[in-house]
Amino acid sequence: MAVLKEASVPIGRMMFIPRQGDLKKEDLIIDANGQYQVIERPDCFAIKNAECCRSILIKVSKKD
């Protein structure tokens, strides 16, 4: 498992993971300490903090 990105995401904000090669939504492993929403875009994946009152920690890895 290769870590792609790890960050604290404030309320209502997003983390962007650029598409590299043939990366698909199913290849992402997302660990978060709160609710989130994954939005698939043509150039990247956007992971939005869906919590109403706090920031969350998100760690995104790629399946091997």
Q: Where are the domains of the chain?
A: 2-62
The mean pLDDT of 50-55, rounded to a whole number, is 94
The pLDDT value given to residue 42: 93
Report the distance separating Cα 59 and Cα 30, nearest Å. Answer: 6
The pLDDT value given to residue 64: 81
Q: What is the pTM of this model?
A: 0.86
pLDDT tens-digit readout, 3-44: 999 999 999 899 999 998 888 999 999 999 999 999 999 999
The pLDDT value given to residue 1: 78
Instruction: State the burial class of residue 29 (Cβ atoms within 10 Å of its Cβ: 0-12, 13-18, 19+).
Output: middle
The mean pLDDT of 55-61, rounded to a whole number, is 97
